[in-house]
């Protein structure tokens, strides 16, 4: 090789290193052999998952806990299509990710070649942006842009499809120093006039509520938010993705709002005269009926994505900008405010309508989560799957710091939790990562037990096993006359035995008394561990606002 | 409500998929789409005619602006822009109706670009109103085939507003 010449695959590695990538999640195949060949003697760690979907979710989990861009690799065709759910998941939750896919050689594209799929076309609606690299001279620039787009503005996944001939082609490569995207300019600073208007509204409000979401976490705004909330004494409720924005055990914290939010959070929203919406998008699981969400309130909405403002609700004071920067602007001018009457009212609601469950009647999931919540002297990261266990976790785990509760919010991807937990543990090797999953969700990516074992990734797997697709069953119970159509698993494997097959220890937990010792056992080892909790099979998530209903149209304890 | 939206995008293969994909993904109604390169070869202008209520149209504009390839989005109010569409139509033309057709074509300034023993092909460009009027005038004739380019538009630089559009 003449000096200065680089292969496409080497350019990829070089850009990854420039971007500070220290770990990749991937799965090889014919169209990425050149890239994998370059990885063979490169210092970047590669985690071989057992399915490309696992790689995508692991990169997502890694990104959520570290704040860095998660990277996954797959081959062309089925490898690439297996990433699609992971991309859609990251896109919905605004997670910075770069997916690199192999593609058949450029000369073969369009011929229905072996393992060819138009992943460029397929991934358009599930990525922030995507590329098909047709010229080796574009490769370096494209990759730099991909990382830049993934992590700036409203973060999101970017896919780069690299045909095999581009991976082996050689050019004289000079590192790309500047990014030129003439049509991409995220707005960072809030408009000063809007800031003034917002400050005035905050000063005049008698019953304000802050409603915060994933934007706080992704912009790293927790410090500013906490200072702002403490100064203004505004009670604060968070979305599922907003968990960790503000310590949920603080007196001003109301926990999660919405469909399975606390009554006091929902009452506060409904009765408020000012909603301070920060990095949120008024999702239908939060505001099922927008007309009955906060009918008496003015709305201040801060978001970096102008398209989110006014999408579902009318906004009185829109502020486009990075929420960390905007909170800094507000904080610079805000004066301490006391609001005893409103806080007394909220304290009253909290006392009258706490989260509660029947203690009797089998092993209660809420109790298990209380035990998890009480784990001391460890930095715990919770990763959840999707379903009842996810909502119980959101309710009963009081998240105290950013990037320590990860969950598939927008897409609601069953099978997300386990690979995401693996990615989280890889990103934070010194923390205790606990997966809260269900028997349904866990079986959707159960193959990743091999990944956890292979690299000794010590994720603690807690399966809330009720033999049902519990959330769908709950809806069938409440809204479909208890016609449990295909939500009962007539067969489930013995998860502990499955784990044993993967050389992972575990135990079955059937009673309340066994819970604490089992958690201790799981935490005491530096390796993955599985607990199969046989929970009360027909326990429901409560409270519940039925879909499409107003935030205070809460079902009686269900 | 209908709206003409002019979108300037980076000119590369795939950009049309990105723009058109937005409309299926977000269930917006698109009535016509016309794309072509501008005075700058690296920039393509896409002219969209979109229908929906005001909030939908606002979302369309915002979502378009959000696309990485989109350089600019302009809402073109009918009163402040010049709009044109080109149509080609082949109609069945019995010999005894030839004179009638030529009269209609002449009065609209439509060109007859092909004539066979049974058909004639007309070319016409104009704003929506003129095209609709021509189609009405041609109602007695049976249409064999019709092709329309979709609307293209530019904002008016002059201050004549509606009148210039009317004269055109």
Residue A98 contacts residue A146 (beta carbons within 8 Å): yes
Could you tell me which residues come within 8 angstroms of residue A137 by beta carbon, excluding any fewer than 6 positions away?
A171
> Using 50, 70 and 90 to split pLDDT, how confident is the model at B163?
very low
**What are the Cα distances from residue A308, in Å, to A311, A314, B21, B64?**
5, 11, 19, 13
CA atoms within 13 A on the CB side of A442: 28
Measuring CA to CA, which residue among A151, A54, A167 is closest to residue A100?
A167
**More confident call, A182 vs A352:** A352
> Using 50, 70 and 90 to split pLDDT, how confident is the model at B157?
confident
Q: What is the mean pLDDT of residues A444-453?
A: 98
Q: What are chain A's domains?
A: 5-172 (3.40.50.970), 192-352 (3.40.50.1220), 365-534 (3.40.50.970)
Torsion angles phi and psi, residue A432, rounded to 5 = -95, 115
Locate the chain B residue with the closest alpha carbon to A311.
Answer: B59
Residue A128 contacts residue A116 (beta carbons within 8 Å): no
Helix, strand, or coil (residue B152): strand
The CA distance from A130 to the nearest CA of chain B, in Å, is 10
Q: Measured between beta carbons, which residues in chain B are less than 8 angstroms from residue A182? A: 10, 71
Q: What is the mean pLDDT of residues B25-53?
A: 92
Q: What is the mean pLDDT of residues B143-147?
A: 96
Q: Measured between beta carbons, which residues in chain B are less than 8 angstroms from residue A133? A: none
Name the residue facing A149 among B21, B62, B68 (closest C-beta): B68
Q: What is the pLDDT of residue B165?
A: 43
Q: What is the dihedral of CA A54, A60, A66, A70, to 10 degrees?
A: 90
Contact state of B21 with A124 under an 8 Å Cβ cutoff: yes
Contact state of A125 with B71 under an 8 Å Cβ cutoff: no
- Count of beta carbons in the 10 Å neighbourhood of residue B112: 15
> Using 50, 70 and 90 to split pLDDT, how confident is the model at B159?
low
Residue to mutate among A103, A123, A124, with most B CBs inside 10 A, is: A124
pTM listed for this prediction: 0.94
d(CA A504, CA A456) in angstroms, rounded, equals 10
Q: What is the ipTM of this complex?
A: 0.86
Q: What is the pLDDT of residue A310?
A: 93
> Using 50, 70 and 90 to split pLDDT, how confident is the model at A28?
very high
Q: What is the pLDDT of residue A29?
A: 98
**More confident call, A123 vs B28:** A123
Q: Tell whether the model's pLDDT for residue A112 goes beyond 70.
A: yes
Q: What is the pLDDT of residue B166?
A: 42
- Which residues of B fall below an 8 Å CB-CB distance to A? 9-10, 14, 17-18, 21, 24-25, 55, 58-59, 62-63, 65-66, 68-72
- Residue A446: DSSP 8-state: G
Residue A463 contacts residue A492 (beta carbons within 8 Å): no
Q: What is the pLDDT of residue A13?
A: 98
Torsion angles phi and psi, residue A127, rounded to 5 = -130, 160
Contact state of B18 with A305 under an 8 Å Cβ cutoff: no
Contact state of A121 with B17 under an 8 Å Cβ cutoff: yes
Q: Which residue has the tokens 């009480």?
A: A374
Q: In what helix (H) or strand (E) does residue A460 lie, and over which residues does it extend? A: strand A460-465
pLDDT tens digits, A205-241: 999 999 999 999 999 999 999 999 999 999 999 999 9
Q: Measured between beta carbons, which residues in chain B are less than 8 angstroms from residue A184? A: 68
- SS3 of chain A: helix, strand, coil, percent, to 5: 40, 15, 45
Residue to mutate among A307, A311, A411, with most B CBs inside 10 A, is: A307
Contact state of B68 with A120 under an 8 Å Cβ cutoff: no
The CA distance from B63 to the nearest CA of chain A, in Å, is 6
Take residue A435 and report the two structure tokens written for it: 């997966």
Q: Tell whether the model's pLDDT for residue B19 goes beyond 70.
A: yes
Q: Measured between beta carbons, which residues in chain A are less than 8 angstroms from residue B70? A: 183
Average pLDDT, chain A: 97
d(CA A138, CA A239) in angstroms, rounded, equals 40
> Using 50, 70 and 90 to split pLDDT, how confident is the model at A182?
confident
pLDDT tens digits, A263-274: 999 999 999 999
Measuring CA to CA, which residue among A27, A33, A45 is closest to residue A9?
A33
Contact state of A310 with B70 under an 8 Å Cβ cutoff: no
Share of chain B above pLDDT 90, in %: 73
Give the end-to-end CA distance of chain A in Å, rounded to a whole number: 70
Share of chain A above pLDDT 70, in %: 99
Locate the chain A residue with the closest alpha carbon to B18.
Answer: A124
The CA distance from A309 to the nearest CA of chain B, in Å, is 9
Q: What are chain B's domains?
A: 2-76 (3.30.70.260), 84-155 (3.30.70.1150)
The per-residue b/e assignment along A38-66, b for 16 or more CB within 10 angstroms, e otherwise, is: bbeebeeebbebbbbbbbbbbbbbbbbbb
Q: Tell whether the model's pLDDT for residue A40 goes beyond 50.
A: yes
Q: What is the pLDDT of residue A487?
A: 98
Q: What is the mean pLDDT of residues A113-134?
A: 97
Contact state of B66 with A307 under an 8 Å Cβ cutoff: yes
d(CA A461, CA A506) in angstroms, rounded, equals 9
Q: Measured between beta carbons, which residues in chain A are less than 8 angstroms from residue B24? A: 125
Q: Tell whether the model's pLDDT for residue A418 goes beyond 60.
A: yes
Take residue A58 and report the two structure tokens written for it: 């692991």
Q: Tell whether the model's pLDDT for residue B161 goes beyond 60.
A: no
Q: What is the mean pLDDT of residues B23-39?
A: 91
Q: Measured between beta carbons, which residues in chain A are less than 8 angstroms from residue B71? A: 182-183
Q: What is the mean pLDDT of residues A496-500?
A: 98
The CA distance from A182 to the nearest CA of chain B, in Å, is 7
Q: What is the pLDDT of residue A2?
A: 52
> Using 50, 70 and 90 to split pLDDT, how confident is the model at B2?
confident
Q: Tell whether the model's pLDDT for residue B164 goes beyond 60.
A: no
Q: Measured between beta carbons, which residues in chain A are less than 8 angstroms from residue B17? A: 121, 124
Q: What is the mean pLDDT of residues B1-21?
A: 92
pLDDT tens digits, A59-110: 999 999 999 999 999 999 999 999 999 999 999 999 999 999 999 999 999 9
Q: What is the pLDDT of residue A556?
A: 74
Residue A368 contacts residue A515 (beta carbons within 8 Å): yes
Q: Measured between beta carbons, which residues in chain B are less than 8 angstroms from residue A310? A: 55, 58-59
The CA distance from B42 to the nearest CA of chain A, in Å, is 12
Q: What is the pLDDT of residue A1?
A: 47
pLDDT tens digits, B104-137: 999 999 999 999 999 999 999 999 999 999 999 9
Provide the sign of the torsion angle of the four alpha carbons B11, B17, B20, B23, taken in this order.
negative
Residue to mutate among B8, B13, B17, B72, with most A CBs inside 10 A, is: B17
> Using 50, 70 and 90 to split pLDDT, how confident is the model at B54?
confident
Residue to mutate among A109, A125, A282, with most B CBs inside 10 A, is: A125
Q: Tell whether the model's pLDDT for residue A122 goes beyond 50.
A: yes
The CA distance from B80 to the nearest CA of chain A, in Å, is 25
Contact state of B68 with A132 under an 8 Å Cβ cutoff: no
- Region of A94 please: left (phi>0), alpha (psi -120 to 50) or beta: left
């Amino acid at each position: 090789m003449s000096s200065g010449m680089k292969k496409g695959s080497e350019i990829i590695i070089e850009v990854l290193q420039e971007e500070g990538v220290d770990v990749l999640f991937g799965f090889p195949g014919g169209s990425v052999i050149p890239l994998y060949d370059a990885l063979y003697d490169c210092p970047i760690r590669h985690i071989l998952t057992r399915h490309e979907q696992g790689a995508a979710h692991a990169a997502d989990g890694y990104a959520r806990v570290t704040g860095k861009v998660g990277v996954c690799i797959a081959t062309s065709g089925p490898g690439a299509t297996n990433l699609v759910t992971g991309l859609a998941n990251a896109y919905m939750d605004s997670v910075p990710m770069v997916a690199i896919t192999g593609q058949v050689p450029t000369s073969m594209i369009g011929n229905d070649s072996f393992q060819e799929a138009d992943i460029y076309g397929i991934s358009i609606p599930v990525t922030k942006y995507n590329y098909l690299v047709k010229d080796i001279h574009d490769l370096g620039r494209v990759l730099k842009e991909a990382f830049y787009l993934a992590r700036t503005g409203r973060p999101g996944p970017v896919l780069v499809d690299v045909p095999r001939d581009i991976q082996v082609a050689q050019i004289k490569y000079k590192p790309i120093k500047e990014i030129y995207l003439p049509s991409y300019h995220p707005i960072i600073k809030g408009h000063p006039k809007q800031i003034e208007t917002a400050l005035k509204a905050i000063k005049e409000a008698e019953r304000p509520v802050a409603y915060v979401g994933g934007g706080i976490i992704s912009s790293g705004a927790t410090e500013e938010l906490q200072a702002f909330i403490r100064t203004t004494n505004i009670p604060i409720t968070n979305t599922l993705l907003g968990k960790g924005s503000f310590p949920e055990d603080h007196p001003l914290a109301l926990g999660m709002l919405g469909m399975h939010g606390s009554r006091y959070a929902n009452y506060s929203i409904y009765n408020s005269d000012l909603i301070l919406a920060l990095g949120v998008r008024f999702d239908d699981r939060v505001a099922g009926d927008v007309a009955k969400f906060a009918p008496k309130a003015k709305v201040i909405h801060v978001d970096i994505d102008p398209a989110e403002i006014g999408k579902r609700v009318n906004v009185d004071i829109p502020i486009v900008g990075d929420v960390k920067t905007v909170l800094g602007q507000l904080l610079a001018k805000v004066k301490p405010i006391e609001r005893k009457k409103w806080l007394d009212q909220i304290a009253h609601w909290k006392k009258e309508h706490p989260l509660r469950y029947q203690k009797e009647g089998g092993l209660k999931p809420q109790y298990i989560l209380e035990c998890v919540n009480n784990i001391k002297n460890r930095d715990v990261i919770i990763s959840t799957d999707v379903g009842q266990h996810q909502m119980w976790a959101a309710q009963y785990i009081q998240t105290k710091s950013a990037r320590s509760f990860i969950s598939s919010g927008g897409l609601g991807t069953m099978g997300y939790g386990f690979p995401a937990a693996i990615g989280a543990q890889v990103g934070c090797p010194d923390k205790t990562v606990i997966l809260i999953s269900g028997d349904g969700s866990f079986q959707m990516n159960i193959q990743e037990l091999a990944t956890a074992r292979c690299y000794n990734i010590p994720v603690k797997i807690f399966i809330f096993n009720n033999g049902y697709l519990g959330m769908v069953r709950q809806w069938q119970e409440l809204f479909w006359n208890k016609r449990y159509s295909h939500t009962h698993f007539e067969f489930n494997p013995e998860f502990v035995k499955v784990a044993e097959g993967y050389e992972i220890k575990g135990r079955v937990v059937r009673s309340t008394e066994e819970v604490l010792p089992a958690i201790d056992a799981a935490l005491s080892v530096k390796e993955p561990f599985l607990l199969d909790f046989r929970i009360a099979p027909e326990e429901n998530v409560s409270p519940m606002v039925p879909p499409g209903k107003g935030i205070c149209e809460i079902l009686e304890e269900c | 409500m209908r709206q003409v939206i002019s979108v300037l995008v980076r000119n590369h293969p795939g950009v049309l998929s990105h723009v058109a994909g937005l409309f299926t993904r977000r269930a917006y109604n698109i009535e016509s789409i016309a794309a072509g390169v501008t005075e700058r070869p690296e920039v393509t202008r896409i002219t969209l005619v979109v229908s929906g209520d005001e909030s939908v149209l606002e979302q369309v504009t915002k979502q378009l602006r959000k696309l990485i390839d989109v350089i600019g989005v302009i809402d073109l109010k009918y009163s402040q822009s010049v709009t044109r569409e080109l149509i080609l139509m082949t109609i069945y033309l019995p010999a005894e109706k030839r004179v009638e057709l030529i009269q209609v074509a002449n009065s609209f300034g439509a060109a007859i670009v092909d004539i066979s023993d049974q058909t004639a092909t007309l070319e016409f460009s104009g704003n929506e109103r003129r095209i609709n009027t021509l189609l009405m005038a041609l109602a007695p004739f049976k249409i064999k085939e019709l092709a329309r380019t979709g609307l293209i538009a530019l904002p008016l630089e002059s201050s004549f507003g509606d009148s210039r559009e009317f004269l055109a």
